[in-house]
């Protein structure tokens, strides 16, 4: 299937210069190719980012190193709500496998376990997240938790998230994990095994999709950062509070590739 092109053929009639109105249900979005913004709407508006938050957690873990070290799941991590693996306090997993669970299946318990492993507890980890956001010049980004829960003051803009995604995808381990349709991990002793399924429905279904992260909460709505590559061109899409993110993302990526000439 090539981006649902047969169903959405009408999209090719759009002129490249016009500001398209093809994401009417998205509160904010930004589409860029190779660093050039193609289209945007309220891209600097701070909004709840849901599990797109986990990209900052993943970036900090990557920058810390020690992916083959073993982390112990804390009671706080095991008590996480929402999307989770059902990890138990005392479970021991490689950091690399916890990272896979956080990025592929958006597991909050795995994400929290990473925060505890790196900083000692989530509160101290959040301070590191906000410090790194400042270093990356993410002007509208403020973190209050490691996983993306709806809490006062937890926010990011589409432009900030695009910048964060570009930085995260420079890390080979992150780029590899977010492109996997599924993955298998286990506790360090092999006693418990987990089958991960990518929550990003474009992976394995949209031609050229390479990542990167989806998210949803009651306040944030349906969120997505999607990346795809065709004919040497790469397109990155960020959508916050989108009505139908999979169809809209497929449509938007198709439109972007339609107006881009193949790379020479």
Active site positions, annotated: 51, 54, 106
Decide if 149 contacts 173 (C-beta within 8 A): no
Of 147, 196, 176, residue with least CA distance to 48: 147
Characterise 232 by phi-psi region: left (phi > 0), alpha (psi -120 to 50), beta (else).
left
d(CA 121, CA 167): 25
2, two tokens = 């090539």
**Rounded distance, CA 163 to CA 169, Å?**
10
Q: Can you read off the two tokens belonging to residue 1?
A: 């299937």
Alpha carbon of residue 258 to chain centroid: 24
Number of C-beta neighbours around residue 197 at 10 A: 12
CB 155 within 8 A of CB 141: yes
- Residue 175 in tokens: 């780029």
């Amino acid at each position: 299937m090539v981006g649902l092109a047969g169903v959405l053929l009408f999209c090719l009639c759009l002129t490249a210069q016009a500001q398209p109105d093809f994401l009417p249900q998205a509160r904010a979005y930004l589409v860029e190719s190779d660093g050039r913004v193609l289209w945007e709407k309220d891209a600097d508006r701070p909004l709840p980012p849901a599990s797109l938050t986990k990209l900052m957690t993943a970036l900090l873990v990557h920058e810390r190193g020690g992916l083959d070290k073993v982390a112990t799941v804390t009671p706080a991590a095991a008590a996480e709500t929402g999307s989770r693996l059902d990890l138990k306090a005392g479970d021991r997993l490689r950091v690399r496998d916890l990272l896979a669970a956080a990025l592929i299946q958006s597991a909050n318990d795995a994400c929290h376990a990473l925060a505890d492993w790196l900083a000692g507890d989530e509160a101290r980890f959040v301070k590191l997240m906000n410090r790194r956001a400042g270093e990356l010049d993410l002007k509208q980004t403020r973190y209050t938790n490691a996983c993306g829960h709806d809490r006062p003051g937890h926010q990011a803009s589409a432009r900030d998230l695009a910048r964060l995604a570009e930085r995260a995808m420079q890390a080979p381990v992150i780029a590899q994990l977010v492109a996997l349709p599924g993955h298998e991990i286990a506790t360090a002793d092999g006693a418990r095994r987990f089958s991960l399924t990518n929550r990003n429905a474009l992976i394995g279904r949209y031609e050229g999709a390479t990542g990167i992260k989806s998210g949803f909460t009651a306040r944030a709505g349906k969120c997505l950062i999607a990346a795809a590559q065709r004919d040497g061109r790469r397109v990155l899409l960020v959508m916050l509070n989108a009505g139908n993110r999979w169809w809209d993302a497929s449509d938007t990526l198709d439109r972007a590739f339609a107006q881009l000439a193949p790379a020479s």
